[in-house]
């Protein structure tokens, strides 16, 4: 078992690390204070990433994720899921909100990559896609979605409201989860690509948030919004036996990426706190924890937890790259990294005292940014519930 990053991604990791340090960090505070202002500097970086992804098929492309292009010849490989996670870790080492604001790297792109057919992949190629799942009154329970999609000829007519849509105002299109028939429950939920400017789709407002302020978070309403049937992702038939599995495949892609975001943000805090206390730490880890100072012992413990989160994240990505079912592992990685990411960033603020709490340091910003990574794409509590169901072999109706 090799615990190191794959050697073939060494250059990718180094380039992403340089972007984080020299491109993201210098403008991080500027856009944290200018909430909702779009970081125009990202356009150039996005164009460079497009070129990298076009040449390799991997890089940090969200649409390339999933098991579609994974190894199917019995060989073991590291592919797009692994490379994307490694890139995300390093970019979030610089600024999580900037990663979430990157054109054509939205969570909706992961949904397209997970369930779109070949024709849709080609048609939506180059589009920046946001993801619209959460609704007022049904946050963590995605199966309780009330937004409807009614078939009308060659179109679907969508009605409903979505909240907390990351990049909902900036993206070229939004992947909207809606139900074809409320009476059929989870099985009737499908995802649709709705392009910006479609009549009936309206951005109602942008939310003011604790962190990730450079990323816009929108409330979007759909009123008799007509979308072509060709924009339904996956199988249009309602398969009660398969249930919710189709659209839920999206989370197998996105949860490891959110875990990678938490790992990257926590890495930034850990490295900064070690720099601040470098004169009090044993660089060779030769001091037994029981003989170490409280600061030393705390930092050593946080480092161990961080390493566990990193390895769990890479495992979930590796499984996707090798066509292995990874729903449980994706939730384990998200739960561990989300929780420990918040603990690490807050503890680093505490250890740095007044220095960590002030705006002269990015420690306080990283603490604010990291909290959302324990919430979106399924809260900590939801991840633990999913893990329990998988371990115990229980259905959602048997274990709530």
Close Cβ partners of 318 (under 8 Å, ≥ 6 residues apart): 78, 81, 82
167 φ/ψ angles, rounded to the nearest 5 degrees? 60, 30
| CA pair distance 286, 282, nearest whole angstrom | 7
Decide if 172 contacts 196 (C-beta within 8 A). yes
Clarify whether 377 is annotated catalytic: yes
| CA pair distance 305, 312, nearest whole angstrom | 11
| CA pair distance 61, 364, nearest whole angstrom | 30
CA 396 to chain centre: 23
Nearest Cα to Cα of residue 108 among 196, 187, 45: 196
| CA pair distance 126, 149, nearest whole angstrom | 26
From 35, 364, 377, 398, active-site residue: 377
Decide if 100 contacts 31 (C-beta within 8 A). no
Burial pattern 107-121, b for ≥16 Cβ within 10 A else e, equals bbbbbbbbbbeeebe
Nearest Cα to Cα of residue 62 among 19, 111, 13: 111
Residues forming the active site? 377
């Amino acid at each position: 078992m090799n615990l190191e990053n794959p050697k073939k991604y060494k250059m990718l990791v180094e380039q992403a690390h340089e972007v984080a340090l020299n491109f993201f960090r210098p403008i991080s505070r500027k856009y944290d204070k200018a909430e909702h202002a779009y970081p125009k500097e990202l356009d150039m970086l996005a164009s460079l990433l497009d070129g990298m992804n076009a040449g390799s098929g991997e890089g940090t492309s969200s649409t390339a994720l999933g098991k579609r292009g994974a190894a199917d010849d019995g060989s073991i490989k590291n592919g797009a899921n692994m490379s994307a996670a490694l890139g995300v870790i390093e970019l979030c080492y610089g600024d999580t909100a900037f990663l979430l604001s990157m054109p054509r790297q939205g969570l909706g792109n992961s949904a397209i990559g997970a369930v779109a057919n070949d024709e849709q992949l080609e048609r939506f190629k180059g589009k920046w896609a946001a993801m619209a799942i959460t609704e007022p009154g049904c946050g963590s329970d995605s199966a309780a979605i009330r937004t409807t999609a009614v078939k009308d000829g060659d179109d679907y007519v969508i009605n409903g409201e979505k909240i907390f849509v990351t990049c909902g105002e900036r993206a070229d299109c939004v992947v909207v989860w809606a139900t074809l028939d409320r009476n059929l429950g989870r099985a009737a939920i499908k995802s649709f690509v709705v392009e910006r400017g479609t009549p009936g789709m309206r951005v109602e407002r942008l939310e003011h948030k604790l962190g990730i302020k450079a990323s816009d978070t929108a409330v979007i309403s759909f009123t008799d919004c007509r979308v072509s049937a060709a924009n339904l992702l996956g199988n249009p038939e309602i398969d009660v036996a398969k249930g919710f599995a189709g659209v839920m495949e999206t989370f197998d892609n996105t949860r490891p990426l959110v875990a990678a975001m938490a790992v990257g943000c926590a890495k930034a805090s850990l490295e900064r706190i070690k720099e601040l206390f470098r004169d009090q730490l044993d660089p060779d880890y030769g001091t037994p924890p029981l003989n170490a100072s409280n600061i030393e012992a705390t930092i050593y413990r946080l480092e161990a937890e961080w390493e566990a989160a990193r390895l769990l994240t890479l495992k979930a990505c590796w499984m996707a790259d090798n066509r292995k079912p990874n729903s449980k592992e994706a939730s384990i990685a998200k739960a561990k990294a989300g929780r420990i990411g918040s603990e690490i960033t807050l503890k680093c603020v505490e250890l740095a005292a007044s220095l960590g709490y002030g705006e002269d340091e990015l420690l306080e910003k990283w603490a604010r940014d990291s909290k959302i990574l324990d919430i979106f794409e399924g809260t900590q509590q939801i991840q633990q519930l999913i893990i329990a169901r998988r371990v115990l072999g229980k259905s959602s109706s048997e274990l709530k």
